[in-house]
Amino acid sequence: MAAGFFISKAVGIVGIVLALGAVATIIALSVVYAQEKNKTSSSGGDATTTTTTTTTTTTTTITSLAPNTTAAPNNPWNRWRLPTTLKPEFYDVTLQPFLKPDNNNMYIFKGNSSVTFTCEEATNLIIIHSNKLNYTLQGGFHASLQALNNSKAPTITKTWLETTTQYLVVQLDGPLQKGKSYVLFSIFTGELADDLAGFYRSEYVEGNVTKVVATTQMQAPDARKAFPCFDEPAMKANFTVTLIHPSDHKALSNMPVKSTQEVQIDGNSWNITTFLTTPKMSTYLLAFIVSQFDYVPSQSGEVLIRIWGRPQAIREGQGDYALQVTGPILSFFEQHYNTPYPLPKSDQVALPDFNAGAMENWGLVTYRENSLLFDNGYSSIGNKERVVTVIAHELAHQWFGNLVTLRWWNDLWLNEGFASYVEYLGADSAEPTWNIKDLMVLNEVYTVMATDALTTSHPLSFREEEINTPAEISEVFDSIAYSKGASVLRMLSDFLTEDVFKEGLQSYLNTYAYGNTVYTDLWEHLQKAVNNNNLTLPGNISTIMDRWTLQMGFPVVTVNTLTGRIQQNHFLLDPTSTVERPSDFNYTWIVPITWMTSKTSGSRYWLVQVSDTNSSFKVDSPDWLLLNLNVSGYFRVNYNQENWDQLLQQLSRNHLVIPVINRAQIIDDAFNLARAKYINVTLALNTTQFLSQEREYMPWQAALNNLKYFQLMFDRSEVFGVMKSYIQKQVEPLFKYYKDVTSNWTTVPPVLMDQYNEINAISTACSYGIPECQELATSLFQHWQNTNNNIIHPNLRSAIYCSAVATGGQEAWNFLWDRFLEATVVSEADRIRAALACSTEPWILQRYLQYTIDPTKIRKQDATSTINSIASNVVGQPLAWDFIRSNWKLLFGQYGGGSFSFSRLILSVTQRFSTEFELQQLEQFKADNQDIGFGSGTRALEQALEKTRSNINWVNENKASVLAWFTEHSR
Sorting pLDDT into bands at 50, 70 and 90, what band is 899? low
| CB-CB contact of 31 with 189 (8 Å) | yes
Report in angstroms the alpha-carbon separations of 400 from 333, 510, 519, 900.
10, 11, 12, 21
d(CA 865, CA 902): 9
Where are the alpha helices (H) located in 398-518, listed in sequence order?
412-430, 440, 446-452, 470-476, 479, 485-496, 498-512
Where are the alpha helices (H) located in 823-900, listed in sequence order?
826-835, 842-851, 860-872, 876-886, 888-895
- Between 82-86, 504-508, 720-724, 889-893, the lowest mean confidence (pLDDT) is in 889-893
Q: What is the pLDDT of residue 680?
A: 96
| CB-CB contact of 803 with 777 (8 Å) | yes
Q: Residue range 791-797: average pLDDT?
A: 93
- What SS3 state is found at 242? strand
Q: What is the pLDDT of residue 934?
A: 81
d(CA 330, CA 327): 5
Amino acid at 142: H
Q: Residue range 331-336: average pLDDT?
A: 96
In this structure, the chain runs to a length of 971
d(CA 777, CA 773): 6
Q: How many CB atoms lie within 10 A of CB 695?
A: 18
Q: What is the pLDDT of residue 22?
A: 43
pLDDT digits (tens, 9 = 90+) for 275-308: 999 999 999 999 999 999 999 999 999 999 999 9
Amino acid at 320: D
Q: What is the pLDDT of residue 57?
A: 30
Report in angstroms the alpha-carbon separations of 645 from 383, 650, 664, 692, 702.
40, 9, 17, 19, 20
Residue 37: pLDDT over 60: no
d(CA 763, CA 778): 13
pLDDT digits (tens, 9 = 90+) for 464-517: 999 999 988 988 888 999 999 999 999 999 999 999 999 999 999 999 999 999
Q: Under 8 Å CB-to-CB from 583, ≥6 apart: which residues?
A: 550, 551, 552
Q: Under 8 Å CB-to-CB from 6, ≥6 apart: which residues?
A: none
Q: Residue range 393-397: average pLDDT?
A: 97
Phi-psi map region of 24: left, alpha, beta (phi>0 left; psi -120 to 50 alpha):
alpha
Q: What is the DSSP string of 883-910?
A: HHHHTHHHHHHHHTTTSTHHHHHHHHHT
The dihedral sign for the CA sequence 212, 215, 221, 227:
positive
- The kind and range of the H/E element at 200 are strand 198-206
d(CA 98, CA 914): 52
Looking at the chain, the whole-number percentage of residues with pLDDT higher than 70 is 92
Q: What is the pLDDT of residue 71?
A: 52
Specify whether 811 is catalytic: no
Residue 125: pLDDT over 70: yes
Average per-residue pLDDT in the chain?
90
- Between 27-31, 199-203, 341-345, 957-961, the lowest mean confidence (pLDDT) is in 27-31
pLDDT digits (tens, 9 = 90+) for 708-766: 999 999 999 999 999 999 999 999 999 999 999 999 999 999 999 999 999 999 999 99
d(CA 401, CA 515): 10
Greater pLDDT, 25 or 695: 695
Phi, psi of 890, rounded to the nearest 5 degrees = -65, -50
Amino acid at 35: Q
Q: Which of 394, 416, 444, 946 is the catalytic position?
A: 394
| CB-CB contact of 586 with 568 (8 Å) | no
Q: How many CB atoms lie within 10 A of CB 316?
A: 18
Sorting pLDDT into bands at 50, 70 and 90, what band is 897? low
| CB-CB contact of 310 with 203 (8 Å) | no
Q: Residue 958 CA to chain centroid, in angstroms?
A: 35
Task: Name 187's bridge partners.
Answer: 112, 136
| CB-CB contact of 506 with 339 (8 Å) | yes
| CB-CB contact of 290 with 249 (8 Å) | yes
Q: What is the pLDDT of residue 55?
A: 28
Task: Give yes or no for a cis peptide into 582 (omega within 30° of 0).
Answer: no
Pick from 698, 709, 699: which is nearest to 671 by CA? 709
Q: What is the pLDDT of residue 34?
A: 29
Where are the alpha helices (H) located in 364-482, listed in sequence order?
381-397, 412-430, 440, 446-452, 470-476, 479
Strand 209-217 to 59-65 pairing:
unpaired
d(CA 825, CA 68): 54
HSE (side-chain half, CA atoms, 13 Å) at 950: 27
Q: Under 8 Å CB-to-CB from 775, ≥6 apart: which residues?
A: none
β-sheet with 636-639: strand ranges across: 611-613, 565-570, 555-560, 636-639
| CB-CB contact of 126 with 170 (8 Å) | yes
d(CA 354, CA 407): 26
Q: What is the pTM of this model?
A: 0.87
Report in angstroms the alpha-carbon separations of 706 from 349, 391, 440, 647, 664.
37, 30, 17, 19, 11
Strand 156-162 to 59-65 pairing:
unpaired
Q: Indicate the angle between helix axes 381-397 and 320-337, nearest 10 degrees.
A: 40
- The kind and range of the H/E element at 89 are strand 86-97
The dihedral sign for the CA sequence 309, 100, 190, 852:
positive
Q: What is the pLDDT of residue 50?
A: 35
Strand 591-593 to 605-607 pairing:
antiparallel
Task: Name 252's bridge partners.
Answer: 289
DSSP state of 113: E
d(CA 293, CA 273): 16
- The kind and range of the H/E element at 944 are helix 938-969
Q: Residue 435 CA to chain centroid, in angstroms?
A: 23
pLDDT digits (tens, 9 = 90+) for 583-620: 999 999 999 999 999 988 889 999 999 999 999 999 98
Q: What is the pLDDT of residue 66?
A: 43
Q: Residue range 888-913: average pLDDT?
A: 78
Helices and strands in the chain, H and E counts: 31, 32
Greater pLDDT, 770 or 48: 770
